[in-house]
A = this chain, B = another copy of it.
């Protein structure tokens, strides 16, 4: 009987899960965690005169070498003028290479140079280290939940892009 009550209470808690209070905590956790998430790369980048925008470009060029400008635009969700400013500096600095397409010469295919891959390595090493620490700290089951909630929060349009990328892993 007492056991039954406990279970009922527990079950009640699960049903009460979506109180505004719980949601608010999730929102604030997301806010503060994202700061930590970007903190290490931001430090590395600012030393070199780059910003978060450069990181995003480098990350996704590394993930999908040979991607076109248009494709990158749809992943990043910015305007081409905005991306172009970033890409121009990365190309000038010799971190990214832009090759005219062979099948369709209007397209430019983007690749990291050795120097670009080197910076990418630094950035993702730092970011993975923090993610690894958080994962280890929280445990395997928590990680599965983490991913599940995050994936449910992605906008439907982007979800397709995300899944394609996710499932193209090595």
Contacts and interface: CB of A to CB of B under 8 A. Distances in A.
Given A131-B26, A165-B28, A36 B142 contact: no
14 contacts: A17-B135, A23-B135, A25-B147, A25-B169, A26-B131, A26-B143, A27-B131, A28-B165, A29-B146, A32-B159, A35-B155, A37-B153, A141-B145, A143-B149
A132 interface: yes
Contact of A24 (B22, B26, B144, B169): B169
Interface stretch (A80-88, A91-99, A100-108, A122-130): A122-130
A22 to B, nearest CB: 8
Question: Which secondary structure dominates chain A's binding surface?
Answer: helix
Q: Please classify how large the interface on chain A is, using the bins under 10, 10 to 19, 20 to 34, 35 or more.
A: 35 or more
Given A17-B135, A145-B144, A152-B134, A34 B24 contact: no
A140 B144 CA distance: 12
A158 B37 CA distance: 13
Interface of A: 14, 17-18, 20-37, 39, 56, 77, 124, 127-128, 130-155, 158-159, 161-162, 165-166, 169-170
